[in-house]
Amino acid sequence: MSLDRDTVADIARLARINVSDGELDSLAGELSQILNWVEQLNSVDTKGVEPLVGVGTAMAPLRQDVVNDGGQADAVVSNAPDAVGPYFGVPKVIE
Amino acid sequence: MSALSDLLRLDIASARKGLADKQFTARELTEAYLAAADDARALNGFITETPEQALVDADAADARLQAGNAVAMTGMPIAQKDLFCTKGIRTTAASKILGDFKPEYESTVSGKLKADGAVLLGKANLDEFAMGSANITSAFGPVTNPWTPEGAATPLTPGGSSGGSAALVAAGAAIAATGTDTGGSIRQPAALCGVVGMKPTYGRCSRWGVVAFASSLDQSGPITRSVRDAAIMLGSMAGHDPKDSTSATAAPVDFEAALAGGVKGMRVGVPREYRTDGMPAEIDALWQEGIEMAKAAGAEIVDVSLPMTKMALPAYYIVALAEASSNLARYDGVRYCAREDGGDLTEMYSNTRGTGFGEEVRRRILIGTYVLSAGYYDAYYKQAQKVRTLIANDFNTAFNNVDVLLTPTTPSAAFAAGDVDDPVAMYMNDIFTVPASMAGLPGISVPAGLSADGLPLGLQIIGKPFDEASVLQMGQAIEDAAGFDKTPRLLAGAKP
């Protein structure tokens, strides 16, 4: 699988990572190299094989549906670049 | 050798005895390490040093020793990989995007070590978000392997991603350090720096408060100067944690006591697929020596087959990068310090992430985003997860017949940064460590010999889930037989 610069630009948009025009070609080359290398997985016959999502616990543990933490708004926003009281500040979203 | 550097050469087990016998105090031990901080700085092993905290911890440890309620880790000056959140102490994950992030909470694992009285010397350097095999992707600069020969044009890398942790322990700049291992990030740097590194079973140590890379693979473990130390430190780090839903409820084990079990009659599998094309003769020779050591210690050697070995690395890179792209979505310029303004919200996200992430992290997020995107999900991600099932099945089959597996840890000794110049070649470093990660199995790397160039090489022992005891026992047998007592050229406190 070879990626072209438009595809890379599209992936970068999906990932919300600003990539300059000048970097698209080199990134396309690097990403294609990695994808070509992982292509070998297609040679494995996986018919009837269940995907392994994670190892260990077969089922997520359950707990009582009760409040067990909270009331820490100040701590939650303490590292925010633009905290407004107990809120996260962001650029205006609605015109 | 001065008394100061004597203290810096002790492992945890000997320092514990020295403290108990009142040969020295925790404060003296910590001060010895702080006095050698310049040497650690020369390696760029720490991102953040915490000398004031270390002295507070040391005095608390002395009070505890005095009161007679010390435990094994009490007073031990350690480094925490800078991926563990430490309350009130800057935690960077070696990335610019976390800026001056000061967690409001302590990770479970670092908290357990703190509660046991360990002394925090600082936060160790690593590859950015633990993504790398040479500690060259850190936004805080590369780490120098203390084994770098005199006059080398380019310093050798310590491996990665726990490169700072391994380099500090090898150089005598921390008695032990925490690491995290997603595809080999504890075992590989330990091997390249000539120290012991142990990745326990997935779920053995809580992931809570550890900056996430690939959640189905990430696992914490100790990097130490001896196998006994690994057992001691793992005992402090391990345990069920309700705050991590993948944390295992397995009963606690006294890993140090388990060392006494020995390896007589243990069945040791040698997976034939690990003998890769082009394996350097010295790696093969070390492996053969390891097999002889196991035999001489009374173990039985069994030839085993893990047919999917070759597919583990490409499958790993799909699974890990998919999970990474999802985990790293949280760095959005809203919650964690760094923000680059833009015309609107989306542009602010893109600018923040475009400047905050380094090249390798950006590459990995883009690949992860691609393999999860509509139309490619089944072809890449699902296929990789199915291959992961087959990898796990291979190990299950092998473990029907053997107790542990013995392999080399890395395909080569330490290399210089410029020697490996493309991403896929760099990924090959983890060829022997990734399969066990994919199956969630415990593994240890033990230094077992030197390369022709005089650099350390490690042997890896892989065990059944939650059978760290057998892994440690075989690790001890290899350590005893190999008698690895070489020290690197760059040694903390060596100058008068």
Q: Could you report the per-residue pLDDT of B169-228, keeping only the tens digit for each?
A: 999 999 999 999 999 999 999 999 999 999 999 999 999 999 999 999 999 999 999 999
CA angle B168, B174, B177 (to 5 degrees): 80
Which of B104, B246, B384 is opposite residue A75, by nearest beta carbon?
B104
Helices B26-35 and B51-67, axial angle in degrees (round to 10): 160
Interstrand relation of B196-199 and B219-224 (parallel, antiparallel or unpaired):
antiparallel
Structure confidence by residue, pLDDT tens digits, B322-379: 999 999 999 999 999 889 999 999 999 999 999 999 999 999 999 999 999 988 999 9
- For chain B, give percent helix, strand, coil, nearest 5: 45, 15, 45
Record: contact B383-A46, CB cut-off 8 A: yes
Q: Which residue has the tokens 């993504």?
A: B131
Judged against a pLDDT cut of 70, whether residue A62 lies above it is answered with yes
Region for residue B22 given its phi and psi (left: phi exceeds 0; alpha: psi -120 to 50; beta: otherwise): left
pLDDT band at A2 (very low <50, low <70, confident <90, very high): confident
Whether this model's ipTM surpasses 0.90 comes out as: yes
Q: Domain B3-261 class?
A: alpha beta
Record: contact B390-A78, CB cut-off 8 A: no
Structure confidence by residue, pLDDT tens digits, B104-117: 999 999 999 999 99
Cβ-Cβ contacts under 8 Å, B329 against chain A: 16
Q: Which residue has the tokens 């390891």?
A: B290
Min CA distance, B118 vs chain A (Å)?
26
The mean per-residue pLDDT over the stretch A23-45 comes to 94
Judged against a pLDDT cut of 50, whether residue A95 lies above it is answered with yes
Residues of chain B with pLDDT under 70: 1-2, 495-496
The pLDDT of residue B87 is: 98
Contact B198, B221 (CB under 8 A): yes
Record: contact A79-B349, CB cut-off 8 A: no
Q: Which residue has the tokens 């953040």?
A: B48
User: How far is the C-alpha of B346 from the C-alpha of A16, rounded, in Å?
Assistant: 7
Per-residue tokens: B291: 């097999």
User: How far is the C-alpha of A56 from the C-alpha of B340, rounded, in Å?
Assistant: 40
Contact B192, B433 (CB under 8 A): no
CA angle B478, B483, B485 (to 5 degrees): 130
Domain ranges of chain A: 5-42
CA angle B464, B468, B471 (to 5 degrees): 80
Min CA distance, B68 vs chain A (Å)?
35
Helices B309-327 and B359-372, axial angle in degrees (round to 10): 100
For residue B419, what is the DSSP state?
G
User: How far is the C-alpha of A1 from the C-alpha of A57, rounded, in Å?
Assistant: 35
Interacting residues of B381 by C-beta distance below 8 A, sequence separation 6+: B318, B319, B322, B371, B372
Strands (E), B318-442: 404-408
Cβ-Cβ contacts under 8 Å, A30 against chain B: 363, 422-423
DSSP bridge pairs for B456:
B450
User: How far is the C-alpha of B474 from the C-alpha of B125, rounded, in Å?
Assistant: 30
- Which of B137, B199, B318, B334 to mutate: most A Cβ within 10 Å? B334
Domain ranges of chain B: 3-261
The pLDDT of residue B26 is: 98
The pLDDT of residue A58 is: 64
The pLDDT of residue B364 is: 96
Residue of A nearest to B361 (CA): A17
The pLDDT of residue A57 is: 61
Contact A31, B371 (CB under 8 A): no
DSSP bridge pairs for B471:
none
The pLDDT of residue B1 is: 41
The pLDDT of residue B95 is: 98
User: How far is the C-alpha of B409 from the C-alpha of B192, rounded, in Å?
Assistant: 9
For residue A49, what is the DSSP state?
P
The pLDDT of residue B426 is: 86
Contact B103, B209 (CB under 8 A): yes
